[in-house]
Amino acid sequence: MSGAFSIRLMFEWGGGSLWCGNDAALKEFDVGPIEDKLPLSNAMLVRLNALSQWHDTALNWDYPPDPGPWGPDECEKFETEVLTFLSELQTELGPEFEIVYEPSYVAPN
């Protein structure tokens, strides 16, 4: 690991996107979503919120066990945007942080 703090980029249904990934991060930032505890610019927080809201459109909220409304194209667009954001997030936080993306949405076949 390159950074002292491991942070997981993992979108949860209904909110929360950045989570502690190691003991050092837990000690520094505590449990639960930590996006508001990190040294992030307002622009990055706005983008993260937009990605989180977009992610939530992938779920069938009426009956979550059923497939969601996204097709393969929407999944690919989302993943492309997340990977771009991930790179920029890593740059903004710097080498003290290691950001690990853990996708929570599996694309339909």
Domain with 42, as residue range(s), is 5-101
Q: How many structural domains does the chain have?
A: 1
Residue 91 falls inside a structural domain: yes
Contacts of 98 (CB under 8 A, 6+ apart): 1, 2, 3, 5, 6, 7, 21
pLDDT at 108: 55
Tens of pLDDT, residue by residue over 18-53, are: 999 999 999 999 999 999 999 999 999 999 999 999
Residue 106 falls inside a structural domain: no
For 86: left if phi > 0, alpha if psi spans -120 to 50, otherwise beta; the answer is alpha
pTM of the prediction? 0.90
Tens of pLDDT, residue by residue over 52-67, are: 999 999 999 999 999 9
Q: Which residues face 18 on adjacent strands?
A: 9
pLDDT at 104: 76
Instruction: Give the whole-angstrom CA distance, residue 30 versus residue 53.
Output: 24
Residue 107 falls inside a structural domain: no
Q: CA-based Rg of the chain, rounded to a whole angstrom?
A: 14
Residue 88 falls inside a structural domain: yes
In the structure, what pLDDT confidence band is assigned to residue 1 with cuts at 50, 70 and 90? Answer: very low
In the structure, what pLDDT confidence band is assigned to residue 3 with cuts at 50, 70 and 90? Answer: confident
The pair phi, psi for residue 48, each rounded to 5°, is -65, -40
Residue 64 falls inside a structural domain: yes
Residue 109 falls inside a structural domain: no
